[in-house]
């Protein structure tokens, strides 16, 4: 076929019609139901109020109905009366009456319509036919592109999956929003926060962090960066526990560095307060075995999904995230860590390292926006931090690309002075000297929608566990993490339930890949 169409063209356009005519098939449609719905809108305001937000002009198959509905929508959004005469008058003013079939056709639409009793059913039938036409159009474009030698197969897969995702989520050909609708939406959101104590996003589980951020916001890209041994992975796992176990919010964790079994072992160590070294060797006393089996039961049903695919490409990451959102309702995505991702398909890099990191950063932000979920990514910092007297990180320390700072909505750093043998905090108020022992600081250095801040947290280094300062030594506070972890490559097995009696049949530690960001030589604080 000579006509070139993009995969995002999801309406029942010329391409789908030409394909249907060539095959001798009529595209799926429900013109009779369209006549009923348009007629109902013209005589019954109740039906109009009830269903107009479910439809767009493109949903209608008959071009005349598209023109008429566009006029109905314009008058309705302008708070003008919608009836037979106002629609005809508006179409005359816009010189579109003939395109709508003329005034006689519009009058005929109202004949035989008595009420809006079954309007929802009629609208659903129209939408179903529209979805079928959209599927035909997308599939036809995929077939057409598949025959071309110049087609990049991974790009085609990505675009096809995105198109099907848009169909599934009803966001086909999303257009602009009016200020009127956006203001109403914003007011409704503000009202809904009245009883949530200012928490509008996904809670991190750390009281002071949530106070500064209002929770992790949908469509935001959050970067958490630090030098090795600061506890980036530990912070991520602490949040994962708070979100998936504490708040029962479905979330996904992509671990590009550590094996999922290693992550689970660290989670169990934090949950049970048993040394990870003891768990790895199995040298537990009777009381610890009892504690192990009683505490791990909380992890079994946590809605946490872990994928440990190494050198994950942005294409594969985007595809897996879409499936997680669609199939499991995932509301937050974590990546450990950004610099281990690849920009090209099949794990191949694209351009030089700075260009590759820039593309990955932009893609993570685009995925957060497309799926409307927060994406949290860990990142490395350059060695320039080590040469600074106070060792406090800053935005210029982000490694390999300034695009990370530019694309992120929030950039924060983890800072543990105790690691550098700094015994008191350097940013206390005058006259105060607070010990840095078992404490860390989350430095919010960039906050696109709020203020920057320094938030202190407790850090129990022997269990790699972060928490609120007040709950640092509360035996029941902030225990453990979710228990579901993924198989190395299969997405279908990304969620695995831990059986308490068999959860610790761990591989030989010599076969596990240690964290390159937290090597033993670099990190004396961690006993694993």
Among the ranges given (140-149, 297-306, 356-365, 499-508), the one the predictor scored with the smallest mean pLDDT: 499-508
Within 10 angstroms of residue 445's Cβ, the number of other Cβ atoms is 21
210, pLDDT greater than 60? yes
- Full DSSP string of 221-269: EEEEEE-TTS-HHHHHHHHHIIIIIIS---EEEEESSS-HHHHHHHHHH
* Predicted local confidence at residue 118, as pLDDT: 81
* Predicted local confidence at residue 437, as pLDDT: 85
335 vs 166, which has greater pLDDT?
335
Q: Which CATH superfamily is domain 15-171 in?
A: DNAb Helicase; Chain A (1.10.860.10)
* 317 within 8 A of 367, measured Cβ to Cβ: yes
The confidence band for 119, taking pLDDT boundaries of 50, 70 and 90, is: confident
* 244 within 8 A of 482, measured Cβ to Cβ: yes
* Predicted local confidence at residue 64, as pLDDT: 92
507, pLDDT greater than 60? no
482 vs 182, which has greater pLDDT?
182
Helices (H), 372-412: 403-407
* Predicted local confidence at residue 192, as pLDDT: 63
* Predicted local confidence at residue 68, as pLDDT: 92
Contacts of 136 (CB under 8 A, 6+ apart): 16, 19, 20, 27, 28
Most confident of 4-18, 59-73, 116-130: 59-73
Per-residue pLDDT, averaged over 429-453, amounts to: 83
* Predicted local confidence at residue 374, as pLDDT: 92
176, pLDDT greater than 70? no
What are the domain boundaries of the chain? 15-171, 196-471
* Predicted local confidence at residue 495, as pLDDT: 39
Per-residue pLDDT, averaged over 435-462, amounts to: 86
109 vs 344, which has greater pLDDT?
109
Q: What percent of the chain has pLDDT over 90?
A: 6
Common-topology check for domains 15-171 and 196-471: no
- Give the Cα separation of 22 and 10 in Å (integer): 19
3-state secondary structure of 343: coil
135, pLDDT greater than 50? yes
DSSP state of 8: T
65, pLDDT greater than 90? yes
Per-residue pLDDT, averaged over 14-43, amounts to: 72
* 408 within 8 A of 223, measured Cβ to Cβ: yes
What is the average pLDDT score of the chain? 75
Task: Tell me, rounded to whole angstroms, the distance of Cα 431 from its chain centroid.
Answer: 44
* 306 within 8 A of 484, measured Cβ to Cβ: yes
The first and second tokens of residue 152, run together, are: 């990049």
Per-residue pLDDT, averaged over 148-174, amounts to: 72
Per-residue pLDDT, averaged over 490-494, amounts to: 33
Contacts of 438 (CB under 8 A, 6+ apart): 418, 458, 459, 460, 461, 472
Task: Tell me, rounded to whole angstroms, the distance of Cα 45 from its chain centroid.
Answer: 38
* Predicted local confidence at residue 486, as pLDDT: 30
pLDDT per position as a tens digit, 415-424? 888 888 888 8
* Predicted local confidence at residue 303, as pLDDT: 86
* Predicted local confidence at residue 400, as pLDDT: 64
* Predicted local confidence at residue 14, as pLDDT: 42
* 303 within 8 A of 244, measured Cβ to Cβ: yes
93, pLDDT greater than 80? yes
Helix axes 119-146, 31-43, angle to 10 degrees: 140
The confidence band for 198, taking pLDDT boundaries of 50, 70 and 90, is: low
- Give the Cα separation of 333 and 304 in Å (integer): 10
* Predicted local confidence at residue 6, as pLDDT: 37
The first and second tokens of residue 94, run together, are: 């816009």
- Give the Cα separation of 173 and 107 in Å (integer): 31
461, pLDDT greater than 90? no
Query: Which residues lie across from 307 on neighbouring strands?
Result: 254
* Predicted local confidence at residue 22, as pLDDT: 44
DSSP state of 342: B
Domain 196-471 annotated CATH 3.40.50.300 = yes
* 382 within 8 A of 397, measured Cβ to Cβ: yes
295 vs 39, which has greater pLDDT?
39
406, pLDDT greater than 60? yes
- Give the Cα separation of 255 and 240 in Å (integer): 12
Give me the active site residues, please. 257
Strands (E), 272-417: 304-307, 333-336, 375-380, 410-415
343, pLDDT greater than 80? no
Q: Which pairs with CB-CB distance under 8 Å and at least 24 residues apart come from 148-153?
A: 152/345
- Which strands, in side-by-side order, build the sheet including 410-415? 304-307, 251-255, 333-336, 375-380, 221-226, 410-415, 439-447, 453-460, 465-467
Burial 280-289 (b: 16+ CB within 10 A, else e): beeebeeebe
């Amino acid at each position: 076929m000579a006509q070139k169409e993009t995969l995002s063209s999801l309406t029942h356009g010329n391409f789908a019609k030409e394909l249907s005519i060539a095959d001798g098939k009529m595209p799926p449609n429900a013109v009779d139901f369209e006549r009923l719905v348009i007629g109902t809108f013209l005589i019954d305001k109740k039906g109009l109020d009830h269903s107009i937000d479910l439809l767009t002009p493109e949903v209608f198959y008959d071009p005349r109905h598209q023109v008429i509905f566009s006029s109905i929508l314009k008058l309705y959004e302008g708070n003008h009366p919608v009836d037979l005469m106002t629609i005809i008058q508006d179409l005359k003013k816009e010189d579109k009456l003939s395109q709508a079939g003329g005034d006689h056709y519009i009058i005929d639409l109202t004949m035989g319509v008595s009420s809006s009793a079954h309007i929802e059913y009629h609208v659903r039938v129209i939408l179903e036919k529209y979805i079928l036409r959209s599927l035909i159009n997308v599939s036809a474009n995929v077939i057409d592109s598949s025959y071309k030698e110049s087609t990049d197969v991974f790009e085609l897969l990505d675009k096809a999956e995105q198109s099907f995702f848009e169909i599934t989520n009803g966001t086909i050909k999303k257009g602009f929003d009016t200020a009127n609708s956006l203001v109403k939406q914003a007011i409704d959101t503000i009202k809904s926060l009245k009883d949530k104590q200012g928490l509008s996003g996904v809670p991190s589980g750390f009281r002071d962090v949530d106070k500064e951020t209002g929770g992790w916001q949908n469509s935001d890209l959050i970067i958490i960066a630090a030098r090795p041994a600061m506890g980036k992975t530990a912070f991520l796992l602490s949040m994962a526990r708070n979100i998936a176990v504490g708040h029962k919010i479905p979330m996904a964790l992509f671990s590009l560095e550590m094996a999922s079994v290693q992550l689970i072992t660290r989670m169990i160590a934090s949950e049970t307060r048993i040394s990870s070294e003891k768990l790895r060797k199995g040298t537990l006393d009777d009381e610890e075995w009892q504690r192990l089996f009683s505490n791990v039961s909380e992890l079994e049903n946590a809605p946490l999904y872990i994928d440990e695919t190494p050198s994950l490409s942005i294409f594969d990451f985007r595809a897996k995230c879409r499936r997680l959102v669609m199939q499991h309702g995932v509301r937050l995505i974590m990546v450990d860590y950004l610099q281990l991702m690849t920009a090209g398909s099949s794990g191949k890099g694209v351009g030089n390292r700075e260009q590759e990191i820039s593309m990955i950063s932009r893609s993570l932000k685009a995925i957060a926006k497309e799926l409307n979920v927060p994406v949290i990514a860990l990142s490395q910092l350059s060695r320039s931090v080590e040469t600074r007297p106070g060792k406090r990180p800053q935005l210029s320390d982000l490694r390999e690309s300034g695009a990370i700072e530019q694309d992120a909505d929030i950039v924060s750093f983890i800072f543990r002075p105790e690691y550098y043998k700094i015994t008191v905090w350097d940013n206390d108020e005058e006259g105060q000297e607070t010990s840095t022992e078992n404490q860390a600081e989350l430095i919010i250095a960039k906050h696109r929608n709020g203020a920057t801040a320094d938030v202190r947290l407790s850090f129990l280094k022997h269990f790699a566990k972060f928490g609120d300062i007040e709950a640092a030594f509360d035996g029941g506070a902030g225990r453990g993490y979710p228990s579901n972890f993924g198989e190395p490559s299969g997405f279908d097995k990304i969620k695995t339930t831990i059986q308490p009696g068999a959860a610790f049949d761990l591989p030989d530690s010599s076969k596990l890949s240690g964290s390159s960001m937290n090597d033993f030589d670099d990190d004396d604080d961690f006993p694993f």
